[in-house]
């Protein structure tokens, strides 16, 4: 349960500032609060969230666990530990389930289900964690399956089209406020690596770069040098 902000001399931060400081977007911060009770921000009389320095430190510790592959649903009980231990993290059953569901959606060409999984992952986890724990393992397994598999081209192009649309929307909005350098991302002719290019684009955008993502390979002579 969130607390009303009491008079205090300690600085309190709005959610947009916490997002800037930690790299965790505001949608994810709210999901961690509502679904899992991982953080309990104070509230202004008008209901706006305010975070103390200890809340920000807690978010950073949550990220440490997530970056070790611990599902968000298992993090709360681990926050009583002073820091992530060097022992193996709890079994990542949540990740296994999400990967299995995503693979099944691609196999069935069920883009509606895939969209739900995509949106859920971005709501609960930072982009880097989504890539390393979910999308990268899924793409790796799919590429192994697709070697010589009947119907592989349809699955690949469907997934590429899906991710290009979803990630493209995200890049469009991020580019409007990004202050970093512009990165031009393209694939080589006859290269089937566009799925990896899309993930690279998303990761770079999250780090503040403006992304120019090409729809088709450019001739080398047309590339700006």
Quote the pTM value.
0.76
Residues 58, 30, 48: CA angle, nearest 5 degrees: 95
Cα radius of gyration rounded to whole Å, the chain: 20
83 pLDDT tier (thresholds 50, 70, 90) = low
Q: What is the CATH number of domain 3-80?
A: 1.10.1660.10
DSSP lists the bridge partners of residue 211 as 183
Residue holding tokens 């899992």? 36
CB atoms within 10 A of CB 159: 22
User: What residue ranges do the domains of the chain occupy?
Assistant: 3-80, 93-222
DSSP lists the bridge partners of residue 43 as 4, 49
Considering the chain, what is the average pLDDT of its residues? 87
Q: What is the pLDDT, as a whole number, of residue 149?
A: 84
Cα torsion through 163, 16, 32, 106, rounded to 10: 0
Q: Is the predicted pLDDT of residue 44 greater than 60, yes or no?
A: yes
Q: Is the predicted pLDDT of residue 207 greater than 80, yes or no?
A: yes
Q: Is the predicted pLDDT of residue 40 greater than 90, yes or no?
A: yes
């Amino acid at each position: 349960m969130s607390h009303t902000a009491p008079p205090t001399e300690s600085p309190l931060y709005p959610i947009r500032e916490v997002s800037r400081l930690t790299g965790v977007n505001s949608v994810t911060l709210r999901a961690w609060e509502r679904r899992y009770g991982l953080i309990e921000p104070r509230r202004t009389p008008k209901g706006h969230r305010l975070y103390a320095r200890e809340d920000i430190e807690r978010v950073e510790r949550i990220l440490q666990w997530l970056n070790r592959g611990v599902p968000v649903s298992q993090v709360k009980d681990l926050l009583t530990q002073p820091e992530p231990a060097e022992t193996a993290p709890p079994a990542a059953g949540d990740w296994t389930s999400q990967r299995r569901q995503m693979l099944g959606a691609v196999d069935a060409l069920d883009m509606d289900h895939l969209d739900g999984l995509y949106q859920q992952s971005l709501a609960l986890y930072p982009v880097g964690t989504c890539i390393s724990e979910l999308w990268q393992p899924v793409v790796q397994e799919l590429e192994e399956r697709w070697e010589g598999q009947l119907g592989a081209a349809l699955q690949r192009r469907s997934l590429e089209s899906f991710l290009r649309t979803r990630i493209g929307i995200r890049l469009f909005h991020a580019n409007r406020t990004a202050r970093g350098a512009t990165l031009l991302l393209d694939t080589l002719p006859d290269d089937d690596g566009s799925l990896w290019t899309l993930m690279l684009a998303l990761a770079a955008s999250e780090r503040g770069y403006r992304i120019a993502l090409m729809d088709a390979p450019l001739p080398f002579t047309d590339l700006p040098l």
